[in-house]
Amino acid sequence: MQKPYVTVENIRSKTEQWLKEIKPYNQHKMNLDIPKAALLVIDMQKFFLDSNSSSFTESGPAIVPNCQKLIKAFRSYKRPVIYTKHVHKSAELDGGILAWWWQDMCIDGTPESEIIEHLAPLPGEKVINKPRYSSFYNTDLDITLRCLSITDIVFCGVMSNICVESTVRDAYFRDIRCLVPADAVGSVNEQLQLGALRGMAFGFAYITKTDEIVSSFAI
């Protein structure tokens, strides 16, 4: 098996490299407005995190500890933690072009569709089932955020260049301030990871680090 591009052991140094690389584009620094902030945990499911899965995202295990830190911080301040799961009823009913594109789908209700135990939502925390990359597409995320008066979202999860980036773009179109910790999102290789971070920094989000977000909570 090919060595993953990022591990728990090297994620700190890798993140510094990525931030240095994208610095010319990462010019819109944001300070988190905690009373109006929510955390969005994107697709941290067994389908993407289990090494035996055909859709295993190799960076997933490395970002789990930072996702845990973010979840703990938001919960400590009683700020919303919202989860998404990328799931389908079947290829025929809601697969569409994705069924042809990937030829492998995460089916709702199966064990692999569940969020990993280390990041499991608490009772009462919002879990959104989504059939497409963006967490806004055909879901109630938009109205949920408006009802909660959310202006700032911190994003974590997988994949940086697909579901995370698609959701960030849609959030930005809704005038939401987007903060993405580079060490809490991941993809299948470093080229795609860096491309996503660069693209989001250029047009949609402030790319930061988990520790910078957590320090905002002073916990």
| Whole-prediction pTM | 0.95
What is the residue-wise DSSP string for 38-94?
A: EEEEE--BHHHH-TTSTT--TTHHHHHHHHHHHHHHHHHTT--EEEEEE-BS-IIII
pLDDT tens-digit series, residues 192-213: 999 999 999 999 999 999 999 9
Q: Which domain holds residue 49?
A: 11-216
186 in any annotated domain: yes
| Residue 171: per-residue pLDDT | 99
83 in any annotated domain: yes
92 has a pLDDT exceeding 80: no
| Residue 103: per-residue pLDDT | 77
5 in any annotated domain: no
Distance in angstroms (rounded) separating the CA atoms of residues 98 and 131 = 9
Residue that is written with structure tokens 């959104």 in the block: 128
66 has a pLDDT exceeding 60: yes
162 in any annotated domain: yes
46 in any annotated domain: yes
3 in any annotated domain: no
The CATH code of the domain that includes 147 is: 3.40.50.850
219 has a pLDDT exceeding 70: no
1 in any annotated domain: no
Q: How many domains does the chain have?
A: 1
2 in any annotated domain: no
| Residue 96: per-residue pLDDT | 78
| Residue 142: per-residue pLDDT | 98
